[in-house]
Amino acid sequence: MIVEKIVTGPLATNSYLACKDDVCIVIDPADAEPIIQALRRRGIVAVVATHLHFDHAAGVRRVVELFNAPFYAHPADWAVYREINEVALEWGFEIPDIPEPKPIPDRLWIFEVWHTPGHTPGSITLVADGVVFTGDTLFKSSVGRTDLPLGDWDALVQSICRLYTLPNYYVVYPGHGPKTDIGSEASKNPFINISICKSGVPRNPY
C-alpha cells in the first residue's frame, strides 16, 4: 500500500490517499481540489471520514460527487453532526454540507475499522497491515482534544489503550502533524502511554 499525505484546509488537516495499484481510499478530505489533483487517473474505492469535524469533512461532497464514490462515517457522529461542529461557527468557519454517510462496516477494502470514541462519539481508526490511520485520536506525542462538544476523556483513554495492543512497528498516520509509530507512543506519549493504560485512567488535562 502506498500512502500519500495531503496537508490542506484551514487547520492543516492531514488528508490521505491510501492506494493499491490504481485504486485508493480517500481519508478525511479537508479540501477537495488538492485531493482531486493528487489522484490523477486513479479510481476511488471509498471516501472515509475518521470523524465528522468540519476540518476533516469539508471536501467530502465534491470528491464523492465527482467520482460517484461511496462515503462512510460512523453513525454516532452523523447523529450529532451539527452539535459536534458548533465549534466551527465559534471559530468563524462554516459547517460543511455533506451527504449522509453510509454506516461504516467492520471491514472496508483492506482495512479493519475500529470504533475509537473520545475525541468525538463516532471517531474511528482504520487498521491495515503495518499502518493505522487514527484521525484526531492519537498524534505524535499528543492525543485528541476532549474539551470540544461531546468529547469524552475516559472513552479516549480506552480507545488509545486499545490502539497500543497493535504491534509496535505499526506506523501511525494522524489527522494533524507528523507520522509516528505505536511503539513510540505506547512508551513515550506524555498524555496516555502503556504504563498509564496498566495503572488506570489518568487525570483529564482538559
CA distance 85 to 120: 10
Helix (H) or strand (E) holding 66: helix 60-67
pTM: 0.96
**Are 56 and 49 contacting, i.e. CB atoms less than 8 angstroms apart?**
yes
Predicted confidence at residue 13, as pLDDT, reads 98
Q: How many residues belong to the chain?
A: 206
Q: Which residues of 154-187 are buried (b: 16+ CB within 10 A; e: fewer)?
A: ebbbbbbbebbebeeebebbbbbeeebbbbebbe
pLDDT band at 201 (very low <50, low <70, confident <90, very high): low
Residue 51 has pLDDT above 80, yes or no: yes
DSSP state of 166: S
What value does the mean pLDDT of the chain take?
95
What's residue 9's pLDDT?
Answer: 87
pLDDT value at residue 20? 94
Predicted pLDDT at 206: 65
Burial of 2 (0-12, 13-18, 19+ CB in 10 A): exposed
pLDDT, average across residues 160-182: 98
Ordered domains of the chain (ranges, CATH): 2-91+103-199 (3.60.15.10)
Sign of CA dihedral 40, 44, 50, 52: positive
pLDDT tens per residue, range 117-147: 999 999 999 999 999 999 999 999 999 999 9
Would you state the pLDDT for residue 203?
65
Query: What are the pLDDT digits (tens) for 54-88?
Result: 999 999 999 999 999 999 999 999 999 999 999 99
